[in-house]
Structures are given as structure tokens and as C-alpha cells.
Structure 1
Amino acid sequence: MAVRTSKFRHIYGDRNVKSYNGVPISKNAHEQGFCSVNPKFVAVVAEQIGGGAFFVLKTDRIGGIDASSCKISKHNGAVYDIRWNPFNDNLIGSACDDGLVRLWNITDEKGVESNHSPVQTMKGHGKRVGGLMWHPSADNILASSSYDNTVKLWNAETAQIVSELSSFTNQITDMCFTTDGSQIGTTCKDKKLRVFDSHTGQIVVEGPGHDNMKVSRLRMLKDGNILTAGFSSMSSRCLRLYDPRNMSSKLEELPIDSATGSLFPHYDPDLNLMYIAGKGDANIKFYELAGGSVFYLNQYSSGDAQRGIGMMPKRGLDSTINEVARAYKLNVGKKLVNVIPLKVPRQSKTFAEDLYPDTAGYTPALTADQFIAGENSAPAVLPFLELQAANSTSKGFSASNASTEIPLLDTACTEQYTNGIDNSKEVATLKAEISALKNTVNEKMTTIETKTSRIEELEEENRKLEEQLSSANEEIAELQRNGVEDDN
């Protein structure tokens, strides 16, 4: 496996962060991560006898489940997947064994709305719904995969089907939009890798995937390639890189190990990093994508196995500690959700611009109607500090049948949100100054730790030199004794 010289080579996981405790995490065998995160909330699929449920925990209240937590339990079967809307931190979708997709509005103060009912229910699948995925740039476009061997794209406002992907002959194990949302890549237990046009549902390209029927997953990369995580014909876990222009053979294959748990890939398109966590593993591996290749960097290791994992969107990270990712690891046995900030060690006290390029914000690049009309667009991006300074969306969500017009935001709310963006530069400057002060403290702590470590290294070197000197003296004495005996 190639080792790359990289500024991300020494990413490490901070172990000094509290965990959510007392969370009854689902023990269902379904192959999903069972966790979804945004800057406001952490959602975790819960263990429940009869029906299905998930908990919503607040990101600023780490600890035990309390009054600020809410439990969504109005499902007629087990919950298989949950996903937050990328443009509305208060809206979450759930996929269920009963074949339905439900949307829930989570309020900032009271949790779920008082009636504890979904704000939208989407009916159309003939069997259980196993996975969900929001469009990366179009508002309220949601994809769902089902055991009926179809993927459906929905207009979440109207609960209407926009397009349908079929041609599958077995269970769909994963799906992922391209950067502009124009295509969807899929993996399937029939060992085929397919890419569809998201508007028409027609296959764009199809080729062989992983050689094993075990669960494989994929991510559509920014450079146009496809990375898959699955199993080889010998049941070893591996990563594969494909060029969709020639699917007859893979560009690269990287072996991982011979463990049996399915892999959860999480892709950071801003930094071209890939985080790989395995079901039942106790580690998270870090990879960098560059020059059409995949390079192993490092890993975070612990003593507890993970059932699943959720990753914080880039806009929710803390730049004052050079945090490039944050993992939420589900520990079923101890009923814990471990929070793991992943950081790049830096001594500079200034804002690390190279770690935080412009990133996707709260504003969609397209409306649902524009997408339905055939338009595509890359996500709308903002400078990182400006995005963090701006108020996050907290709008509610109203849904109805197709015959009703859906107002998203009134004019006053829109003006208020826009003004928040316009005034954010001054706030961003203040945040940068605070960040500099915090980084000064962190730098001094890092310097102390570095010097302490260097002292320990020198002491160890000195001890070894003393041992070598003592051994040399003994050899000299032995030679001198032998010389005296020879003279006699």
C-alpha cells in the first residue's frame, strides 16, 4: 500500500471528549450506519420492541438522554436509515420496514412537533425501504432505495415521484449522487456497479463491481471517478477505484484486511479525504485521493467496536482546533455515542485556510422545480468563516399533497437570513481573533508536549549510550585481562 507524504499524514482523533450515554442503539442487522448528524442534532436509530424509533440529541448537550432529547417512534416497523436535509437542519427523513418514507420537523426548543406525527409521508415502494440520500444541490429532492429493487427520487414537498431507477436484480446496497446531482451511482448484491441519469432513470454506464455478494458501497468522487468499498472474491475487504468511462476494469484496488464487517465510507470532497469505518471494527482509517490514486494515511484506534458511524458536515466543524472531521461512533454494548474530533496538528495560531476551503452552505443551488425541469448545478459554496458566522437554517417544514402550493420562507424571513449573511464578515473577523487566541494557547500546550516528548527521547538515548559505554568498558577490561595472561 502506497504511503503518501501529505499534510494530512498525522490526522489524529481526540479522545478527551465526552460521550452521549444511555442511548439504546438499534441492534438490527440491517447494513446502514444508523446515525445522521448536523450542526444542531445527532440522530440515532434506537432499539425498540414493536415498531421502530430514533432519538434526536442536541450537539451542544453531550451527556445522558435528558428533557432536551426527543424520541420519534411513530413507525409501523423497524427504522433502517435516517438522513438530515442538508439545507434544513430541522428536517429529517426516515426509511422504514413498512415501505414508507417519512419526514419529521424537529424544533429547536421542544424537539419533535407537538403532534408527534410526520410532516410528510411518501408511499410508493412495494417493500421495505433500506436507504435514503438527499440531493447535494437541489432543495427537497430525496432518493430512497427499497427491497423492491428500485430507487425512487421524490419531491419531498409534494410527495410525488420525480423519477425511478430500476434494472436491479437483487438488493440495492448503496447509492450516491455525483457532485452536481445529475447522476446516481449504485451498488447491488448482483455484483453490478451502475450509474443512472437522475432525471430520466436511464442507465448511463454499467460494469462489474465487487466479486462478493456481501454489502459494498460507493462514493462518486469530485474528479469523476468512483470509489467502492466492499469484498474481494476471497472475502477480504478492499477499496476499488473505477473510471466510469471504462467500467470493464478497475483503476486500482487497495486491500484493507480480512474482517467480515461491511464498510462505511465517508467522503470529504473539499480536502479529497476518505474516512473508512467498518461495522464491528474499533478503528477509523484515513485515506487521501490524489492523482487518480488512493493513499493510506493513518487511523484512529480504540478498544470498543462500532455498530455504525455518523459524520458532521464541514460547516459544523471547529476551525479553532484544526478539526477536519468529526465522527459519532455508535457503541451498542455500552449504549454510548462517542464523539471523536479528527484534527490536523498545527502550531500556527492563524486560521488554516488550506484546511478550510470554500464549502457547501445552507442555500441550495436549485429549487426542486428546477431539478425536475432537467437542470443540474454544483452545490453553492461559501467561505468557511462566513458560513460559520451566518445563522444556520431553523425553518420549519410544511408538506401537503401535490395540489397544494408549499411556501418555504416568507419575505421577512428571507430578508432576515440574507442580512445575516451580509453582516457575517464582521462577525467572522471577531471569530478569527478569538480563534487566534485559542490557537495561541493550543500552540503553547503543543510546544510543552513536544519539548516534554523530546526530553524523554534524549533521556532514552542517554540511557542507551551509557549501556553501550558500560559494555565497551567491559570488553576493554576483558581484552586487557587476556593480554596479561598471554604475557605470563
Structure 2
Amino acid sequence: MSRFVRASKYRHVFGQAAKKEHCIDNVKVSNSAWDTNLIAASGSYISVNWNASGGGAFAILPLPSPFRAHNLPYKLPDVIPLARGHTAPVLDTDWSPHDDSLVVSGGEDGNILLWKVDADAFEGWGAERWVPQDFDPVARINGSPRKIGQVLFHPTAKHVLASASGEHTIKLWDLAYTDDAKGVLTGHTDTIQSMAFNMTGTLMATTCRDRKLRLFDPRAGIDAVRVTDGHGGIKGTRVIWMGDKDNIATTGFSKMSDRQVAIWETGSLENLKTVVLDQSSGVVMPFWSDNNILFLAGKGDGNIRYFEYESEALHSLSEYQSPSPQRGMCFLPRRSLSVSECEIARAYKVAGTLIEPIAFVVPRRSDSFQSDIFPPAPSSEPSMTAGEFFSGKNAPANLVSLENGAVTAATSSFSPSPAVAPPIALAKSASTPAPEPVKKQSEPAPAMARKQSEPLPSSLYESQMDSPVAMSPPSAVSETRTPQPQPMKSSSTDLEDENARLTAELREARALIRNLELQVEGLKANAQRAARALMDS
């Protein structure tokens, strides 16, 4: 039998949709035409781009699964707490790989907002006399005069963020000092469609509407170190790094509008393999699992293909089929999977008004831990600080055992190509500010000034402040502190009064928005009843 069938422990992996009571219904997904996944997940929460009035918003919800800690109703109320703060639609969100309660959002208003989720944020949902309380951002960054299309956290350095803007540039941020970007990556001549870090965060791959595939060393300069022709079609392309391998995968379209998946070698950006999938029109969203499995989910499809990557070739495993087409999708971090059920991956699918979990399971009967299908997963412990990353340090990702939760420092088998410039301090240019020197622990953190771009408050690491305006500066460990001048008492009182007034006005405005949304829902329901009555008569 082995002469004709390739041996693989993942050959019988199957997708299993969750029961209806473990899904989330009545989800109002954004109608924005911008091409993103619409949904993102951490180990505890999910974020969904929301269709809301009064500017841009997205929803923050606990994970819909049988193992969730929060007992939310299957069907959401018509009005729920939202993460408001953008003045235009939210285009993308991303959760920190090192903090399951920290999420960042980018919108058409050019702003980047950071949000911290409290553990008790979902208590009392749907109960009698329950009043929704919107989430408040803990930090705001003026990212671009144009829209922010994608946001992406660094995989190993704590609080390092990349953002792609309508200026066709990618900016790197240290979230503790957000007045200026730490670096700007240029060279794109059209809209940036996707970006991805490698497993150690030393390289970044991007796809662009100009049909080019680019490879950057984010700390070596502003220009790409590799550029090659990507997919020939003009429609959306995506890129994903294939774990710790020296390869990347892209999805796109041929000149004849065939949907394709391609594998590239990063040393020279040589195309190793291109596979034609079909002739559908939806963008294909790629997702990588460290089991060497590539998942492909097409927008507008109900199916999810998955392939095993072995010996520089893609081998088709199977296909999850569903009659309901997906608008967006994300995958759960592997450290949060249910290993007792032999679950090697879990997707969250947005279909209509429903968020549906889909578990990918290896069918095995043994109750013991299956070490061969559960390699160590990236841990929530960062490998280095933002200052260490921008000063040139490289560190492999910390890994966690899915058997006992033990965290170990891993050694990566990936190393950049010799032709790729080594990581150095960012080059100084007119558009790229020079990085600040790494501060020693004995130096106190700078005082925070309230600006459009403001430093990350200490509440981001601990708990969110009650006030949406007053925030504390980042804390720093120091042996000796320089005494700071105390503000005048009258000025402090005036600021507190102004803060209280603005907070009250904000709450009144949000209450008015909720009432208007309820009225709109009532009008829609009346219109539907009237239409049905006319049809019956």
C-alpha cells in the first residue's frame, strides 16, 4: 500500500463545525470593501470589524467554543459594547502574540488605536437592565494622513507593531514611544495588499497591487532587499511565512484569472512551485500551521483546502466543505488548542451573521498526549524587548509544550540568506527618523505629553483606566529617580474638571448613538412586518 499512497499522519485530518450553541449569531459585519480577513483571534478573545454608525468600530467578544470561560448568549443583543474611537471604518485588527487581552486596530481615518480588555468586561451581558459600556482605547497613534490598511504585531519582540498605509509605506512602531515611527519601508508603487513576518521577525515579506513580491530586512534600511514578479493577475494577493522554513507561500491570480498558490525560496525569491486551484473570483486567504499544513480559504467559498508541505512540494490532504460561504476567517493560536481532542487547528469563520468555529482533528483513539502531531507552539512569552529588537538583537521565539505548558527557549533552524543585509540600526533619511538609543534600566521613563501620538500607558500592561482621557506614563525600573516638578494645584484641578466634562459628553454621545441604533433596528423590523403583511394580503 505504501508504494501507491504517500505516508502521512495528517492524511485523515477532517474539519468539524461546532454545534449551533457554540457559535455566535446576530453579528453585524462591516460592509467595507477593503480586503482583510475581517476577524482576528487571540487565545481568549476575537475581534470583528463591525457595521456601526457614528464612525468606525469593531466588536470584541470572548472565544465562541465549548471551552470558553464567559457564558454569553448564542445570539447577541441588537446593541452590544463596541470598541469605538475611529472616525472612519475600521479596516484591520490584530491581537498581540504576547498578551491575549491587547488588540490594535487601524482605520480609514489614518489612526492606530490600542485597546486593553478587562477580565470582567463581559459580565451581565443580556441581563435585565443591562447597559452596554463601550470599550475605550488606551493609546492612539497618528499613523498616516491616509488610511491604515493592515496592522501586524512582531512575533518575538514585545510591543513592536508594523502598519501599512495608503501612502504605500510600512511603518514600524515601538508602542512605548509612539511620537515617531522607528522605521519606514518604502518601494511599493501601489496599494500594499498583505505583509508577514518570518518566525523570528528578522525579515518581512509583502505583496502589492503592482504585482511584485518584496522581501525586507526591517532594520537594514528603507528599501527591499529582494524584489521579484509575483502572480500575474491584478486581483488581491496574500503572503504567509511557512513557519521556520526558508520559504513563503503566496495566493493570487493568473493573467487568465485562475486562482493560484505559489511557493517561493526566500534566499533568491525563486518560484519553486505554482499550483492552480480553480477559476473562482474570491481572494484566497492562506494560513500556516506548524504541523507543516497550509490552509487555503477562499472568500465567497464554503470550502477550506489544506495541504501538507513536504520535500519542497505541496501534497493535498483533503477539503472541508460547507454550503455557507465565508466572508472572513482567522485561526486560533496553537497554544490554545484542545490537545485532548487531537485538535491540530481551529478556524473561526464569518458567514453572514454567524461566527462558526471549525476544528481540524486527527482521528485517534488514544487518550494520551500525541507528541508527534503537537510540536511545541510559539509561547506568549516575548523573546526580547522593542529596544533590543531595534538595536539589532536577534532571538528565536520562545516555545511552549502543549503537553505540560513548559516554556523553553528554542533554537531556530532558519537563518537569513547571506545576500540579505545583516540587521543594523535603521538608516537615517528624510522620511525615516533615526532610532532612539536603547535606554538603560536605570534611566527613568520620559514624562508623557498628551498628543495625537502618545506613549503606551502603564495601564496597557495591567488594567485599563476608568477615564478614556487620563492615562499614566509607562513605568520604568530605576535605582535613582530624578525628582519631577510638581504641577500647580489649580492647574491640576482645572484638568480634572475638563477631563470629567469630556468624559460625561462622550458617554452622552455614545448613549445617543445606541438609542439611534435601537430606533433603526425597530424601523427595520416594522418595515419587514409591513412587507410580509402586504405579501400575505
Q: TM-score, normalised by structure 2?
A: 0.70
**Structure 1 residue ranges (4+ consecutive) displaced by more than 6 angstroms after TM superposition:** 112-115, 397-400
Q: Secondary structure at the match of 1:53?
A: strand
1:8 matches 2:26: no
The letter for the 1-side match of 2:273 is: E
Of residues 46-55 and 133-142 in structure 1, the stretch that sits farther from structure 2 once superposed is 46-55
- Deviation track 1:206-245 (CA, whole Å, cap 9, x = no partner) reads 1111111111011122211121111111111010111122
Give the deviation of 1:405 after TM superposition.
Answer: 6.0
Alignment of 1:29-108 (within 5 A): 29-59=33-63, 60=68, 61=71, 63-65=74-76, 70-108=81-119
Q: Secondary structure at the match of 1:95?
A: strand
Q: Percent identity?
A: 29
C-alpha contact (below 8 Å) 2:60/2:82 kept by paired residues = yes
Change (3 A) 1:39 1:259: same
C-alpha contact (below 8 Å) 1:361/1:387 kept by paired residues = no
Q: TM-score, normalised by structure 1?
A: 0.77
Task: State which of 289, 301, 315 in structure 1 corresponds to 2:309.
Answer: 289
- For residues 69 and 115 of structure 1, the distance between their equivalents in structure 2, rounded to whole angstroms, comes to 8
Q: Secondary structure at the match of 1:320?
A: helix
Give the deviation of 1:395 after TM superposition.
Answer: 4.7
Give the greater-gyration-radius structure (CA).
1
1:134 matches 2:153: yes
| Higher normalized strand content (fraction of residues) | 1
- For residues 280 and 291 of structure 1, the distance between their equivalents in structure 2, rounded to whole angstroms, comes to 32
2:397 paired residue number: 379
Give the deviation of 1:124 after TM superposition.
Answer: 3.3
- For residues 202 and 3 of structure 1, the distance between their equivalents in structure 2, rounded to whole angstroms, comes to 46
Tell me the C-alpha RMSD between the 2 structures. 2.7
C-alpha contact (below 8 Å) 1:282/1:306 kept by paired residues = yes
Q: Secondary structure at the match of 1:251?
A: strand
1:273 paired residue number: 293
C-alpha contact (below 8 Å) 2:252/2:283 kept by paired residues = yes
C-alpha contact (below 8 Å) 1:155/1:368 kept by paired residues = yes
The letter for the 1-side match of 2:258 is: S
The letter for the 1-side match of 2:283 is: S
Task: State which of 200, 210, 213 in structure 1 corresponds to 2:234.
Answer: 213
1:188 matches 2:199: no
- For residues 305 and 267 of structure 2, the distance between their equivalents in structure 1, rounded to whole angstroms, comes to 28
Give the deviation of 1:67 after TM superposition.
Answer: 11
1:119 paired residue number: 138
- For residues 192 and 339 of structure 1, the distance between their equivalents in structure 2, rounded to whole angstroms, comes to 34
- Deviation track 1:71-97 (CA, whole Å, cap 9, x = no partner) reads 112210001001111101111000100
The letter for the 1-side match of 2:475 is: P
Give the deviation of 1:39 after TM superposition.
Answer: 2.0
C-alpha contact (below 8 Å) 2:286/2:294 kept by paired residues = yes
1:233 matches 2:233: no
Give the deviation of 1:201 after TM superposition.
Answer: 3.1
Task: State which of 327, 346, 354 in structure 2 corresponds to 1:336.
Answer: 354
C-alpha contact (below 8 Å) 1:68/1:111 kept by paired residues = no
- Deviation track 1:183-209 (CA, whole Å, cap 9, x = no partner) reads 110000101110011113331111111
Give the deviation of 1:111 after TM superposition.
Answer: 5.3
| Higher normalized helix content (fraction of residues) | 1
List runs of 5+ in structure 2 lacking aligned partners.
124-131, 408-459, 479-537
C-alpha contact (below 8 Å) 1:91/1:396 kept by paired residues = no
The letter for the 1-side match of 2:8 is: S
The letter for the 2-side match of 1:90 is: S
C-alpha contact (below 8 Å) 1:70/1:111 kept by paired residues = no
Alignment of 1:159-198 (within 5 A): 159=178, 160-198=180-218
C-alpha contact (below 8 Å) 1:3/1:297 kept by paired residues = no
C-alpha contact (below 8 Å) 1:69/1:111 kept by paired residues = no
C-alpha contact (below 8 Å) 1:316/1:388 kept by paired residues = no
- For residues 188 and 177 of structure 2, the distance between their equivalents in structure 1, rounded to whole angstroms, comes to 27
- For residues 253 and 259 of structure 1, the distance between their equivalents in structure 2, rounded to whole angstroms, comes to 17
The letter for the 2-side match of 1:33 is: N
Give the deviation of 1:348 after TM superposition.
Answer: 1.7
C-alpha contact (below 8 Å) 1:58/1:68 kept by paired residues = no
